[in-house]
Amino acid sequence: MKSEVKTQPVSRSRGRRLGAFVFLSPGLTYLVVFMLVPLALVMSYTVFQRGRFGGVVYEFTTENFERLIDPLYLSVVGESLKIAAITTVLALLIGYPTAYLIAQLPPRWKTMALVAIVLPFWTSFIIRVYAWTILLSGPGLLNSALAKLGLGPFELLYNQGTIMAGLLYSYLPLMVLPLYAAIERLDPQLREASANLGASGFTTFRKVTLPLTVPGVLTGCMFVFVPSFGNFVVPDMLGGNKSIMVGNLIRNQFLSARDWPFGATLALALIAVLVLLLIAQAWAARRA
């Protein structure tokens, strides 16, 4: 009896270690080989010289970082930040009221309204962006409609506004969903209490609803900002040749200019911006 009590925990812990090994090692190996090693390689490439046809020559240089602070490249990073930030604010401005209303619909309509928000998100990204070129092109629908009013035609495609519209269109569902989740969780009694104590609808929103949904707002903003900032497909298809973002720059360094070390340095800058934002978000969420 005594010996059983003693041996059981030992065999249990051996079983646990075996289980951990059997279940975790394949997936973790995959993550190490295809994600962590590649990321380490990208980081290391930032201090090496470019190879002639892509790749790298393993000789130390700081040249890539010197090029990074060239105003030409810094301005592209700045423009990308601006485009992603405006897109995020626009998504919040139309996403919040939408999520707020959906949360208050009767259950049947609520499900339908949510599915209708998510549905476009499950269709091909390329096709959704392409749809905008049809809508906005010179002889397209919007210009024809404006012509009937005696206006235009306008050059609606290929500028920063078009890029923002395309990004907003692509990632708006990612703003609405976390906002909806945050608003839905609110206890309705809090708002009732606020109203009973004489607060107007707007005061209740400002003092009760909004502060309690800040975590949802922050999550939604990250979900829109992160894929917008590093995007190259939308500016490629809707931005024309004039407007490029940091994503296009990185794509070009890797696939056309074949300067992998500089592409890696730009990617490092992109990751650095996103990590800083994540830290800021975590800090803001803790304060909220």
Partner 1 sequence: MRRPKLLYVPFWLTYVFLYLPIAVLVAMSFNSGESAYTFEGFSLKWYGVLAEDERIKDGLINTLIVATGATVIATVLGTMLAVGLARYSRSKILDAVSLMPAVLPDLVLALGLLVLYGTIQLTLGLYSVVLAHGLFAMAFVAAVVRTRLTGTDTSLEEASRDLGAGPVVTFMKVTLPQLMPGIVAGALLAFTLSLDEFVIAFFTIGNGEATLPIVIYSMIRFGVTPKINALAAILLLVSFTAVIAGQRLTKIGESRAQD
Q: Which has the closest alpha carbon to 220: 284, 281, 174, 181? A: 174
Which CB sits closer to partner 1, 52 or 71?
52
Q: Which of residues 154-183 bind partner 1 (CB under 8 A)?
A: 168-169, 172-173, 176
Chain centroid to CA 56: 30
Closer Cβ to partner 1, 71 or 188, answer by number:
188
Compare residues 71 and 149 and give the one whose CB is closer to partner 1: 149
**57, 74, 89, 101: which one binds partner 1 (CB under 8 A):** 101
Minimum CB distance to partner 1 smaller for 71 or for 227: 227
Interface residue with partner 1, options 247, 259, 262, 265 (CB under 8 A): 247
| CB of 63 vs partner 1, minimal distance in Å | 18
Per CB under 8 A, contacts with partner 1 among 125-144 are 125-128, 130-135, 137-141, 144
Q: Work out whether 78 is an interface residue with partner 1 (CB under 8 A).
A: no
Contacting partner 1 (CB under 8 A), which of 61, 68, 212, 232?
A: 232
| Bridge partners for 48 per DSSP | 60
- Mind giving me the DSSP string for the chain? -HHHHHHHHHHHHHHHHHHHHHHHHHHHHHHIIIIIHHHHHHHHHTTEEEPBTBSEEEEE-SHHHHHHTSHHHHHHHHHHHHHHHHHHHHHHHHHHHHHHHHHTS-HHHHHHHHHHHHGGGGS-HHHHHHHHHHHHSTTSHHHHHHHHTT------SSSHHHHHHHHHHHHHHHHHHHHHHHHHHS-HHHHHHHHHTT--HHHHIIIIIHHHTHHHHHHHHHHHHHHHHT--HHHHHHSTTT---HHHHHHHHHHTS--HHHHHHHHHHHHHHHHHHHHHHHHHHHH-
Interface residue with partner 1 among 84, 167, 177, 226 (CB under 8 A) is 226
Structure token digits, residue 31: 């993550």
Torsion 127-132-137-143 (CA) sign: positive
| Sites for partner 1 among residues 6-65 (CB under 8 A) | 12, 15-16, 18-20, 22-24, 26-28, 30-31, 33-39, 41-42, 45, 54-55
The CB-of-160 to partner 1 minimum distance in angstroms stands at 18
Footprint of partner 1 on 195-214 (CB under 8 A): 201
122 binds partner 1 (CB under 8 A): yes
Q: Is 153 in the site for partner 1 (CB under 8 A)?
A: no
Q: How many residues bind partner 1 (CB under 8 A)?
A: 88
Binding residue (CB under 8 A) for partner 1 from 254, 257, 277, 281: 254
Chain Cα centroid distance, residue 237:
18
CB of residue 194 to partner 1, shortest distance in Å: 12
Smallest distance from partner 1 to CB 44, Å: 9
Residue 277 near partner 1 by CB under 8 A: no
Q: Which two tokens stand for residue 208?
A: 């009760």
Q: Of 17 and 82, which has the nearer Cβ to partner 1?
A: 17
